[in-house]
Amino acid sequence: MEIKKQIEKAKNGDQIAFTFLLDYYWNEVYGFMLKRTENETDTDDITIETFAKAFDKISTYNPEFQFNTWLIAIAKNVHIDLLRKKKSSLFVEITDEEDYQAYNVADTTPSAEDELITEQNLSQLLQYIKQLKPHYQEVIQLRYFQELTYQEISDKIQEPLSNVKIKLLRAKKLLAEIIKDHR
């Protein structure tokens, strides 16, 4: 009954209920995906994406089914999407002419123009990140620029692991909205 109450509260936007559900089901979803992927980094990403999608679409949850079953179904779909992205990036159809041109490339170092474009894109991304609240900036910085694990971030900012996961989830979502608004 407690789970049903928390789901109803979450449907009404209660952040404490979201945190409760994340804490309650995190290990189950994470463990399930770790068995499938055998890769902790992918499993972290899939699990966070699963909860992000679930919380975005919680209003569509049908209480006739178990909440954990619904989460696992979402996790499977996120995993399939990840595999498709990886597969499509591995296999690119190229013609014989393109293959010949690829072997005749004289210099693979980035040109001055390439470096400038990369620098401008990074600069723009940093400007977007600066629009986030400081605590969101911090977790983005630690995760994606310093490449710390979730546990290392938790230790560094002295907050529970679940708080770090939620902050990253929200930070990514807010950053995506900022970027979308500026396009």
Query: 87: which 2 tokens?
Result: 């597969």
User: What values do phi and psi take at 148, rounded to 5?
Assistant: -80, 155
Examine the domain organization and report whether 8 and 77 are in the same domain: yes
**Comparing C-alpha atoms, which of 155, 139, 157 is closest to residue 147?**
139
Examine the domain organization and report whether 17 and 83 are in the same domain: yes
Examine the domain organization and report whether 59 and 119 are in the same domain: no
The pLDDT value given to residue 114: 67
Cβ–Cβ < 8 Å for 53, 173? no
Examine the domain organization and report whether 70 and 135 are in the same domain: no
To 10 degrees, what angle do helices 15-37 and 40-56 make?
140
Q: Model pTM?
A: 0.55
CATH number at 122 reads 1.10.10.10
- Could you report the per-residue pLDDT of 98-148, keeping only the tens digit for each? 655 555 554 556 666 666 676 777 788 888 889 999 999 999 899 888 888
The CA angle 155-158-160, to the nearest 5 degrees, is 85
CA 144, CA 50: separation in Å to the nearest integer?
Answer: 19
| Domain tally, the chain | 2
Examine the domain organization and report whether 79 and 10 are in the same domain: yes
- Could you report the per-residue pLDDT of 117-131, keeping only the tens digit for each? 767 777 888 888 899
Examine the domain organization and report whether 127 and 157 are in the same domain: yes
Examine the domain organization and report whether 81 and 6 are in the same domain: yes
How many Cβ atoms from other residues are within 10 Å of residue 74's Cβ?
19
Residue 72 within any structural domain of the chain:
yes
The pLDDT value given to residue 76: 93
Query: 12: which 2 tokens?
Result: 């009404």
CATH number at 42 reads 1.10.1740.10
Examine the domain organization and report whether 70 and 9 are in the same domain: yes
Of 90, 117, 133, which closes a domain? 90
Cβ–Cβ < 8 Å for 109, 118? no
Residue 56, domain extent: 2-90
